[in-house]
Chain A
Amino acid sequence: MVLDTPLISKKAHAGNFIIIRINEAGERIPLTIADYDRNEGTITIVFQIVGKSTKLLFTLNEGDELLDVVGPLGNKIHIKKYENPVVIIGGGVGIAPCYPQAKELKEAGNKIIFILGARSSELLFWKDKSQAVCDELIICTDDGSEGIKGVVTDPLKEIINREAIDLVIAIGPMIMMKFVVLTTEGKMGLPKVDTMVSLNTIMVDGTGMCGGCRFLTKEGQTYFACVDGPDVDGHTVDFDNLLQRAKIFSAQETQSLSFDEQNCKALNKNT
């Protein structure tokens, strides 16, 4: 979805996110900026329909307005020229926020190896776009319907065994990031590679105020994804705590969806 937000687009960088609200009763939805066009004054967001809010977002048409858009939030990623290639791994909808990182790192003169992963072929997107900002594109699907059959850590292991890599960036489901980090932490007979992950946590304000997005480091220190991240050193993150925190509102998410469906049914009956 492309949003007409000239001021945000002017300041947007890889790593930044926005928060939107669709309507008065709506929640504040954090979404990573997947692309920006400063000339057009637009930013692009990519979302997967998982709950009531994203379902509603999907019903919007070209020309519709969102009630609120705020951003760019969070820290932009550090862009520099690395000596050795950078591996970027996008899993599922996480492919989208990887794109501007690949683009900015490529523009800085880096060699980029881009791994796109998804459950199956129809969930892959932005293949051409990704191809244009990398030197090597690897596709893998869980069911083998496209590219390598397997998970993103399979080609990753091969690459870091094959050549020196200066940085791995992984954005996708929490569980995928957890396993990428396990792969690159210098155990399992593989070399250690610096790894950045983007934390997609529960969040309300996105400005450091609520602390709902907090995450633990393995040393037990607490940080906030919104102001200390969202891109952080993956080797310091306690993923098990994050996986547990991600479930805080799962009961309400189901309730909200079914409430919404009942309302729809009721509306249909009335008309």
Chain B
Amino acid sequence: MAKKIPRQKMREQAPSERIKNFIEVPLGLTEEMAVLEAERCVQCPKPLCVAGCPVNVDIPGFIKLIKERKFQEAIAYIKDYNILPAICGRVCPQETQCEAECIMGKRWEPVAIGYLERFIADWERQNKLKECPDCEAPNNIKVAIVGSGPAGLTCAADLAKYGFDVTIFEALHKGGGVLVYGIPEFRLPKDIVADEIETLKMLGVKVQYNFIIGKILTIEDLREMGFKAIFIGVGAGLPIFLDIPGINLNNVVSANEFLTRANLMKAYKFPDYDTPINIGKVVTVIGGGNVAMDSARIALRLSAEKVIIVYRRSEAEMPARREEYHHGKEEGIEFKFLTNPIKLIGDDAGNVKEMEVIKMELGEPDESGRRRPIPINNSEFIIETDTVIMAIGARANPILTKAIPELKLNKWGYIETDDNGKTNIDDVYSGGDIVTGSATVISAMGAGRKAAKAIREYLLK
């Protein structure tokens, strides 16, 4: 029975339309579609999808409730595992996690777990049925969370549910970390992030914006203020620039800068919003991850005539989500695989005008397990470009770690923790990109969750 229903197709804005706006690309499933899709789940007694999820959501459990049209119960159930379902339903790489394990996918197509998660979270928000999740009685023990990205939000939510008195300290003027400055509106609408933060406030979590811990307050100050444990979820964040000539020409920017201007500062509304952004006719993005896709698709929406992604490996090695790659291709982004920049050339005013690149071929696998790209002699050519965006990853941000000299770091400056997020300092825990280096929203959430459990054990022992 179940196998006869095809996997429901996500409704989407047409490419020709959506490149003119910042509205979300996928439009969500209808109720009927969601129930049909839920019927496709065969309710495995030993569900592999759950093991594929970094926070082990009981996936068949919430899908069964959707199938029975018990939507309110379904959302409450999912939130026991994942406090940010509207976000995860959109940005988790389900195709390599839960859905990759789905038994239906072995013969047919996997159940669209991400679509269902998104559906149920949107259903609750659109029907304004948000309820305060159940919490344990307040224990009046104060815990500080540094950073309001996915790791911090999850850790804060779990601790609040355990009854702790939680305060989040955020460096920027808006909460959500990479969810607001990094991921664009058309992939994750910002009112959804704001709404998820509202859920945290319902749980009694306090949020202090414009607070850079390590600057305005030290860890010692936090202890004096009565915080009994501190969770650090500040992310990676320091952009990497290629070490090639011309990197400091004008209009060569990090993806962080480009995305922050566009997303957090809403430069796409310039001059109604004051923060400017430079686009020009041709934009070239260097890199093959989600950040590169996001930057390229924003450039297109900011009316670049041509957007090129330059990636040194081939299509198969590209770390971006397939869905985002396909969206980008549909929208007309040009991909130059096996191509590596070697030099940027500017005009008299110091504005970038050309990028010299070299063709690459794949050699033996490197330490990442992917085949190493090797330059092909005498294959250099020129790409004309007005803007260059570097989306080749980030390093550890040193502001906070520099202010805690006793905190143990690894050789790349990331914080060393045990499996539960505990650092070498008794009352300091950490998780997310500042521990692992650049990774995914859901893995940061997983780390936040583990740390919350460990903090509870530490404080209530």
Contacts and interface: CB of A to CB of B under 8 A. Distances in A.
Verify that A and B bind, or say they do not.
Answer: yes
B250 interface: yes
Contacts of B273: 25
A70 B350 contact: no
A248 interface: yes
Nearest to B396: A208
- For A70, A224, A244, A255, the residue with the greatest tally of chain B CB atoms inside 10 Å of its CB is A70
B399 A227 contact: yes
A2 interface: no
B260 interface: yes
Interface stretch (A90-98, A131-139, A159-167, A210-218): A210-218
A210 B274 contact: no
Interface in B385-403: 397-399
A209 B278 contact: no
Contact of B173 (A8, A68, A260): A68
Interface in B304-348: none
Nearest to B215: A72
B55 interface: no
Interface residues of B, number: 41
A249 B399 contact: no
A201 B51 CA distance: 48
B237 A209 contact: yes
Interface string B198-238: 00000000000111100111000000000000000000011
Contact of A209 (B217, B239, B350): B239
B219 to A, nearest CB: 14
Interface in A100-120: none
A205 interface: yes
Interface in B233-276: 237-239, 241, 247-248, 250-251, 253-254, 256-257, 260-261, 265-266, 269-276
A237 to B, nearest CB: 12
A222 B241 contact: yes
A259 interface: yes
A42 interface: no
B305 to A, nearest CB: 18
Contact of B278 (A71, A227, A249, A260): A249
Residue of A215, A245, A255 with most chain B CB atoms under a 10 A cut-off: A245
Interface in A216-267: 216, 222, 224, 227, 241, 244-245, 247-249, 252-253, 255-256, 259-260
A70 B212 contact: yes
B48 interface: no
B216 A11 contact: yes
A214 B248 contact: yes
Nearest to B239: A211
B454 interface: no
A129 to B, nearest CB: 26
B274 A26 contact: yes
B278 A72 contact: no
B100 interface: no
Interface string A179-201: 00000000000000000000000
A86 B276 CA distance: 39
Given A53-B274, A208-B399, A248-B278, A67 B173 contact: yes
B215 A71 contact: yes
B262 to A, nearest CB: 11
B212 A227 contact: no
B265 A245 contact: no
Contacts of A205: 171-172, 181, 260
B1 interface: no
B349 interface: yes
A210 B248 contact: no
Nearest to B272: A25
A124 interface: no
Given A70-B171, A209-B256, A211-B256, A7 B217 contact: yes
B256 A210 contact: yes
Contacts of B271: 252, 255-256, 259-260
Given A204-B261, A210-B260, A211-B257, 17 more contacts: A7-B217, A11-B216, A21-B173, A25-B272, A25-B273, A28-B275, A72-B215, A73-B215, A205-B172, A205-B181, A209-B238, A222-B241, A222-B247, A248-B251, A248-B278, A252-B271, A256-B270
Interface of A: 7-8, 11, 21, 25-28, 52-53, 67-73, 204-205, 207-212, 214-216, 222, 224, 227, 241, 244-245, 247-249, 252-253, 255-256, 259-260
Closest 10 CB pairs of A and B: A252-B276, A244-B350, A210-B257, A70-B210, A259-B271, A211-B254, A27-B274, A68-B173, A211-B239, A27-B275
24 contacts: A7-B216, A11-B216, A52-B274, A68-B210, A70-B173, A71-B215, A204-B265, A204-B275, A205-B171, A207-B171, A207-B237, A208-B399, A209-B260, A209-B397, A210-B254, A215-B248, A216-B248, A222-B241, A224-B238, A241-B248, A244-B250, A245-B248, A245-B250, A249-B278
